[in-house]
Amino acid sequence: MSSRPSKDLITVPNPEPGRDYEIVCETDEFTCLCPVTGQPDFATVRVTYVPDRLLVELKSLKMYLWSFRDEGAFHEAVTNSVLDDLVAALSPRRMTVETVWKVRGGILTTVTAAHP
Amino acid sequence: MSSRPSKDLITVPNPEPGRDYEIVCETDEFTCLCPVTGQPDFATVRVTYVPDRLLVELKSLKMYLWSFRDEGAFHEAVTNSVLDDLVAALSPRRMTVETVWKVRGGILTTVTAAHP
Amino acid sequence: MSSRPSKDLITVPNPEPGRDYEIVCETDEFTCLCPVTGQPDFATVRVTYVPDRLLVELKSLKMYLWSFRDEGAFHEAVTNSVLDDLVAALSPRRMTVETVWKVRGGILTTVTAAHP
Amino acid sequence: MSSRPSKDLITVPNPEPGRDYEIVCETDEFTCLCPVTGQPDFATVRVTYVPDRLLVELKSLKMYLWSFRDEGAFHEAVTNSVLDDLVAALSPRRMTVETVWKVRGGILTTVTAAHP
Amino acid sequence: MSSRPSKDLITVPNPEPGRDYEIVCETDEFTCLCPVTGQPDFATVRVTYVPDRLLVELKSLKMYLWSFRDEGAFHEAVTNSVLDDLVAALSPRRMTVETVWKVRGGILTTVTAAHP
Amino acid sequence: MSSRPSKDLITVPNPEPGRDYEIVCETDEFTCLCPVTGQPDFATVRVTYVPDRLLVELKSLKMYLWSFRDEGAFHEAVTNSVLDDLVAALSPRRMTVETVWKVRGGILTTVTAAHP
Amino acid sequence: MSSRPSKDLITVPNPEPGRDYEIVCETDEFTCLCPVTGQPDFATVRVTYVPDRLLVELKSLKMYLWSFRDEGAFHEAVTNSVLDDLVAALSPRRMTVETVWKVRGGILTTVTAAHP
Amino acid sequence: MSSRPSKDLITVPNPEPGRDYEIVCETDEFTCLCPVTGQPDFATVRVTYVPDRLLVELKSLKMYLWSFRDEGAFHEAVTNSVLDDLVAALSPRRMTVETVWKVRGGILTTVTAAHP
Amino acid sequence: MSSRPSKDLITVPNPEPGRDYEIVCETDEFTCLCPVTGQPDFATVRVTYVPDRLLVELKSLKMYLWSFRDEGAFHEAVTNSVLDDLVAALSPRRMTVETVWKVRGGILTTVTAAHP
Amino acid sequence: MSSRPSKDLITVPNPEPGRDYEIVCETDEFTCLCPVTGQPDFATVRVTYVPDRLLVELKSLKMYLWSFRDEGAFHEAVTNSVLDDLVAALSPRRMTVETVWKVRGGILTTVTAAHP
């Protein structure tokens, strides 16, 4: 199985669709580019969701997050995009995406978006 | 008393069935195998419950968790299985099982399932 | 004033019975014996309560907790006993007893009981 | 300006009486005497309040807390006294006083009182 | 682009006005002057908001916070001013400003104000 | 195998006598009695040694430490006794015993003794 | 590339043999069996070395540590074995192996062995 | 036994004068007065020594430290005085006194003096 | 002034060449690619040096570290390369480069190289 | 006594010149301006010294550090200047000045200079 950055999110069936339960996937290895300066930004990304019929496959989530490495992305926009893409792929019962960005200009920024 | 991995959960009577009170059992010594790669996975497991008429005997809980050592188990499935097995054995008033898995592919995963 | 282990809890009048306020007494110096193996167990004990007309006198609480040193006591039973004894002595408006036990068999156990 | 222990609390006008907002003042430099043994006790004191028309002036709060240095005071009584004195001086919309006392007899005590 | 302290807050359009989501901007590089003694004060400032149609541009927020460097400002007043200025510029759906001030006279002060 | 407090230290052969290597055994479950007041004392005990031909068997070390439970023992004396007993049983190339005692009278005490 | 537990350590050439520099590889995912009870033990393993002409390939180190999963191994013996095997494979200029074992019988054990 | 502040340090015989071993006594309950402003100062005091023929009795050390409560004392002077008094009373083989003072004027001060 | 990844290290004169003093520059925003899998790696990089006649200009150090973003680099090789490049540019009296890499295969790796 | 920023360091006699002992003064309230951009920089400053005949008066040290508030100063230069000024004023037996600067461009910088 090749490993390349990809926006394609692979899903697997939820083994327990009869129960509401929560999954948290968190990585401190997210990087993209600042759309203004072109310089690298770094963040921790935390995805919390209650699955319906589908789970996100872990390796595909890694490839998906990798796909932002060479893209310019504002903090607020990328957080909402990750949420939109994951909601489109998984139709979760509920989902939250939280991003915590490294200090820029002395300011630490956190963005949190939720569905629904 | 022999000590071997076992799915048999031993119960003891609740000494205070007239009161709703909470018990938390937590171990950072849980390991199973990844069903895809066959490689070891490691997790912390936390069981929180309000007993009805039965408590889980601590040594039998240890044997039960040990029984996953040579089994392939997805993170989400094993969390729900532990919950199902403990609910079947104890009929608790309420129970939560939380698993926190070591980093794989740069991603830390937590799964939390509750009854009812 | 002699200091010996004792189940007798001494009380003092609440200086402010007209107000609901909260007192927390916590010690990490609690020890009793395992009723199965006879070996020592160790725990942190935290008592949280809203007094009515009586407070527990601190030195008598220390003697009371000391009285378990040579007694066999299951984690769940001792937690409920401490709660029952303190409720009987103080008739508090509300009270919680929480015990956090040292690791046994790789498992850390916490028990929390509340009145009413 | 002289600096001496004093029960007199000085107030200043609230610059924003049209808004409910919260102020926390906390010190780990509080000491009084045990009324039973005469020996020093030490505590952290945290005052949290929503002001109405008055704020407590910070230096006067420091002098006020200093005034307990040579007084005998039970943990529960002093906490309620500080609350009463500050409520009398400030008429706050709401206030909480929390005291965390150094270990005595192996027991750490916390007292929390609130108005109204 | 010049960098100078400025009360002018620059805004950028919210890329996702259809969703309520939260942004936190936090810095531990805030300093102003004590209006009584003229000596420097230092604080951590945390701004939490749900944007409506506008976000605050990060560099302009930095310049704005810098503008207090040579101003005398009471803890409570400056916290409410920052809130008022940001609310005026952004018309956020909701906003909280929290300031945590370095110890003065042995007392640590925190002020938290919210809109609406 | 019975488990009772015992001063008898059991040894096992060092599997690697040709190499100087270090073993640390640490427990926070040590308790004895104050020889003056008869009240319980609690400590963390840390034994660090380079074995020669013998290792201490872990369960026997546990029984040994348990044997102090009902004995009066000054902090300094018990630390030196543990060192003397272990040196007599193991003849280690070098050994250090460190005890960290719970706060008494507001004072935390640590005692460290080494051989040779 | 298959992934199975294996005692075979794969090496790669040191890219900078002209300089003494230090490499630390640490994992908290080590498990073996207690040779007395047959029950699982868990440890953190830290390998620190100055390479000569060879480095250990990271995936092969993982397979090597995995090979202990079904073996009985005393704490002291396994630490020395890991050191011996790595020294035999790499001929490092110097190497230290440190293992930190989960609490058994209330006792935490650490073993540290070094070459030469 | 009365408990009052006292400069008299009581000693007890060292149970193991044939061995150099180290004792650390530490308290975070030390307070004195600023000789300039008369206001209270607070410090943590740590005494580390290798005893010769005498140990300091713990309760007398507590009374001794209490004796500074109403005395004016500069940080540097009080540290050296404590060292001088303890050296005079105990004639230790070596001793260090370290004081860590609460923040004044935004500055945290630590003073460390040693004998010989 | 443009900001692009660059291997060119800019230097500035040491303002105090007559004194040996130490500078530490540390970032947790370093990323490169694994030469085997092509996937991103992440590390914290810490450079410690005693300058001779030259200091590294901070922005140029940032551009230099950025230049590894699209390069394949083994942990050990990249650490030595950073050291070699900085030594070539600065001729420091002494320098250490330490890299701490995110967990791969359950193993955390640290590499430390020094000149001379 | 007026309080204004000042380069004048006031000294007081060392009360114990016959003994080598160490004083540490540390503040996290230091700010100056970047000489390149004119923007504020923030640092923690730690001064460690063994006095000879003079101590630095604490309030004057505060005024001295305040004097940098409106000055442009490179990290390395300001650290050496503080050391030079304090050495000139105090002629200490030895002194170290350490500055830890807030993150700029993702890089945290520490500078440490010592006399002699």
Quick check: F55 and F9 in contact, CB under 8 A? no
Burial of B41-70, coded b for 16+ CB within 10 Å and e otherwise, reads bbbebbbbbbbeebbbebebbbbbbbebbe
If one compares J83 and C36, the residue with the highest pLDDT of the two is: J83
From chain D, the residues in CB contact with H3 under 8 A are 37-39
Rounded to an integer, the average pLDDT of B6-32 is: 96
Contacts of D38 (CB under 8 A, 6+ apart): D72, H3, H4
Indicate which residue of D8, D25, D28, D34 is catalytic. Answer: D34
Break chain H down into helix, strand, coil percent, rounded to 5.
20, 45, 35
If one compares J6 and F48, the residue with the highest pLDDT of the two is: F48
Residue H34 among the catalytic residues: yes
* Phi, then psi, of E3 in degrees rounded to 5: -125, 105
| Most F CBs within 10 Å, among G39, G75, G76, to test the F interface | G76
Quick check: H22 and F112 in contact, CB under 8 A? yes
CA distance to partner chain H, nearest, from residue F3 (Å): 31
Kindly report whether the peptide bond that precedes residue A116 is cis, defined as omega within 30 degrees of 0: yes
Q: How confident is the model at residue F1 (pLDDT cuts 50, 70, 90)?
A: very low
CA distance C97 to C25: 10
One pLDDT digit (tens) per residue for chain G, 116 residues: 457 898 999 999 999 999 999 999 999 999 999 998 999 999 999 999 999 999 999 999 999 999 999 999 899 999 999 999 999 999 999 999 999 999 999 999 999 999 99
From chain J, the residues in CB contact with I11 under 8 A are none
Looking at chain H, the whole-number percentage of residues with pLDDT higher than 90 is 92
Return the closest-CA partner of residue B113 out of B47, B52, B38.
B47
Beta strands in chain J (DSSP E): 11-13, 21-33, 40-50, 54-56, 94-104, 107-115
From chain H, the residues in CB contact with F111 under 8 A are 21-24
Rounded to an integer, the average pLDDT of B97-102 is: 98
Other CB atoms within 10 A of residue I19 CB: 16
Stretch 47-86 of chain I: residues touching chain A, C-beta under 8 Å:
66, 69
ipTM of the complex: 0.92
Kindly report whether the peptide bond that precedes residue C51 is cis, defined as omega within 30 degrees of 0: no
pLDDT of residue C23: 98
Note whether G108 contacts F: Cβ–Cβ < 8 A.
yes
pLDDT of residue I2: 57
Of D80, D104, D109, Cβ closest to residue C21? D80
Rounded to an integer, the average pLDDT of J8-31 is: 96
F105: left (phi over 0), alpha (psi -120 to 50) or beta: left
CA distance E49 to F112: 54
Note whether G106 contacts C: Cβ–Cβ < 8 A.
yes
| Most I CBs within 10 Å, among J39, J75, J76, to test the I interface | J76
Rounded to an integer, the average pLDDT of I83-108 is: 97
Return the closest-CA partner of residue J12 out of J50, J66, J64, J58.
J58
Other CB atoms within 10 A of residue E72 CB: 15
Rounded to an integer, the average pLDDT of A44-69 is: 97
Indicate which residue of A20, A32, A34, A52 is catalytic. Answer: A34
Rounded to an integer, the average pLDDT of B54-68 is: 96
Inter-chain CB proximity E76 and D24 less than 8 Å? no
From chain I, the residues in CB contact with A69 under 8 A are 40
Judge whether residue F16 has pLDDT over 90: yes
Rounded to an integer, the average pLDDT of B45-49 is: 98
- For A65, the 3-state DSSP assignment is helix
Residue E41 among the catalytic residues: yes
Rounded to an integer, the average pLDDT of H65-82 is: 95
**Per-residue pLDDT tens over the stretch C13-65:** 999 999 999 999 999 999 999 998 999 999 999 999 999 999 999 999 999 99
D17: left (phi over 0), alpha (psi -120 to 50) or beta: alpha
Judge whether residue A82 has pLDDT over 70: yes
Q: How confident is the model at residue A95 (pLDDT cuts 50, 70, 90)?
A: very high
Q: How confident is the model at residue B1 (pLDDT cuts 50, 70, 90)?
A: very low
Rounded to an integer, the average pLDDT of A40-47 is: 97
Return the closest-CA partner of residue J5 out of J88, J86, J61.
J61
Contacts of A88 (CB under 8 A, 6+ apart): none
Which pairs from D94-99 meet CB under 8 Å and 24+ separation? D94/D49, D94/D50, D95/D47, D95/D48, D95/D49, D95/D50, D96/D46, D96/D47, D96/D48, D96/D49, D97/D45, D97/D46, D97/D47, D97/D48, D98/D45, D98/D46, D98/D48, D99/D30, D99/D43, D99/D44, D99/D45, D99/D46, D99/D75
Contacts of I36 (CB under 8 A, 6+ apart): none
Helix (H) or strand (E) holding F26: strand F21-33
Contacts of E37 (CB under 8 A, 6+ apart): J3
pLDDT of residue F73: 86
| Cα atoms found within 13 Å of the Cα of residue B47, Cβ hemisphere only | 26
